[in-house]
Amino acid sequence: MSSASIYKAAWVIPVDQPPIENGVVEVHGSVITAVRSAMPHEACHDLGDVALLPGLVNAHAHLEFSHVPQPFQPAQPFTDWIRTLVAYRRQFTPGSTEPYAALNIGAIEALTSGTTLLGEIATSGWSELFMPTHGPRVIAFRELIGMRPEGIDQQIEIAEEWLTYKSVLAPVTYGLSPHAPYSVAPELLCGSVELAKRFNAPVAMHLAETRGELEFLAHGRGEFVGMLKSFGAWPEGGLPLGRRPLDILRTLADAPRALVVHGNYLVDDEVDFIAARPQMSVVYCPRTHEFFGHDPHPWRQLLKKGANVALGTDGRGSNPDLSLWNELLFLRERFPDVAPSTLLELGTRFGARSLGCEHECGTITPGKRADLVAVSLGQATAHDDPLEELFAAGHKAVRTFCAGVLG
């Protein structure tokens, strides 16, 4: 049974058309049926002094770390941060449900901060059972790791089984995440992309994340070599040398959708390569980028060239929370010269496009799913532009609707 509701807000900001003062959004069941100005004395649910936006899209998270009270230390060198992360995982006894409870906690945290679509990296034991029934739609990318030839077939089997799942309890669909160039052999990357093509599934990969990764690809040396050897993961036959992120991008480009996670050190021809391929996106994780102290991120260059840029929180191992709204506030503060409308697009429709969901959500448009977030505006009316006002400090997501249901 579906029912009709009319939600009224001080501002409706559909993203695909100009903001509507004193606007309403009509919802029938899980679908938006109209976006318009309110009529006098119209019966409706008045959400009050809020801006009603499309639900936010967090294109990259690791919910398994949602119990972590603060980011892992040290942030540098990067391989020491990874070692802390691995030690965190290993503290749980096999069979313990504690790590999986974090998935649910993280999904709820994302939901309450306005996220209605989430790109999640799923490791062993991940299940839709831990996702809230009326929470964000989740694209669960199964993490694949393997540098040694003998482990690759097993990873491909895991990947194939993953892509055959059909969720029934929560809104989850499935993709693959060959982890990173320093943890995935070229054969495993190719095999993952082939599977993704067969199942029409998206692929997400950490890429161009650190300078150490560039050194590893080019020369087969640096901090990742020692780490792989200490984990018993170094391939005895060695690896092809003389590579760079562009070589990985060429393989990823064959996937139906490819999310280049981080992309901190993409250079000009790599930016051009992504910009020329609408199926590819870069996921910028602003506060994680800051945490690791990387060089300036090329996100504005990517946008200028026409590439699709989405935003992610990454996990709590490198970020204090899972709020995509807080990522937007962070960007507004750091980059006051970037138009607020652009920031909002990064967090909504560009995110939806990165995950292959641009026809279902990302804007408040009749026919799309009723994924909405109401952000408090308080009493401030200092700006004539509602988008300027929206990003004023202190504003928060106060209500989130996923497919028409208040989360």
Q: Residues interacting with Zn ion, by CB under 5 A?
A: 314
What is the SS3 assignment for 52-99?
EEECEEEEEECHHHCCCCCCCCCCCCHHHHHHHHHHHHHCCCCCCCHH
- DSSP-based three-state secondary structure for 47: coil
- Please provide residue 104's backbone torsions phi and psi, each rounded to the nearest 5 degrees: -65, -45
Quote the least distance from Cβ 153 to Zn ion, whole Å.
Answer: 25
Residue nearest to Zn ion (CB): 314
Which is nearer to Zn ion, 216 or 284 (by Cβ)? 284
- Kindly list the distances between the CA atom of residue 82 and the CA atoms of 71, 79, 104, 189, 224, in Å, as whole numbers in the listed order: 12, 5, 23, 21, 10
Complex with Zn ion: residue 52 or 68, whichever CB lies closer = 68
| CA dihedral for 146, 315, 326, 133, sign (positive or negative) | positive
Return the CA Rg of the chain.
Answer: 21
Q: Which residues contact 282 (CB under 8 A, 6 or more apart)?
A: 259, 260, 262, 263, 266, 274, 299, 302, 307, 308, 309, 310
DSSP state of 151: G
Select 330 or 398, whichever has its Cβ closest to Zn ion. 330
CB closer to Zn ion, 213 vs 314 = 314
Q: Which is nearer to Zn ion, 61 or 271 (CB)?
A: 61
Q: How far is the CB of 318 from Zn ion (least distance, A)?
A: 8
Kindly state the smallest distance separating residue 47's Cβ from Zn ion, in Å. Answer: 34
Partner residues linked to 258 by β-bridges: 203, 280
Least distance CB 328 / Zn ion (angstroms): 19
Query: Looking at beta carbons only, is 109 or 314 nearer to Zn ion?
Result: 314
Element (H, E) at 234: none
Residue closer to Zn ion (CB basis): 30 or 123: 123
Q: Quote the CA–CA distance of 84 and 167 in Å, as a whole number.
A: 33
Closest approach of Zn ion to the CB of residue 206, in Å: 6
- Greatest alpha-carbon pair distance for the chain in Å reads 75
Nearer to Zn ion, 32 or 282 (CB): 282
Contact by Cβ (8 Å): 56, 14 = no
Measured from the CB of residue 283, what is the shortest distance to Zn ion in angstroms? 9
CB of 339 to Zn ion, least distance (A): 28
Sequence-distant (6+) residues with CB within 8 A of 56 are 113, 114, 115, 116, 117, 324, 325, 328, 347, 348, 351, 373, 397
Of the pair 262, 395, the CB lying nearest Zn ion is at: 262
Query: Minimum distance from CB of 160 to Zn ion (Å)?
Result: 23
Give exposure, 309-321, as e/b (b: 16+ Cβ within 10 Å): bbbbbbbbbbbeb
Give the shortest CB-62-to-Zn ion separation in angstroms: 6
Query: Taking phi first (over 0 means left), then psi (-120 to 50 degrees means alpha), and beta for anything else, what does residue 337 get?
Result: alpha
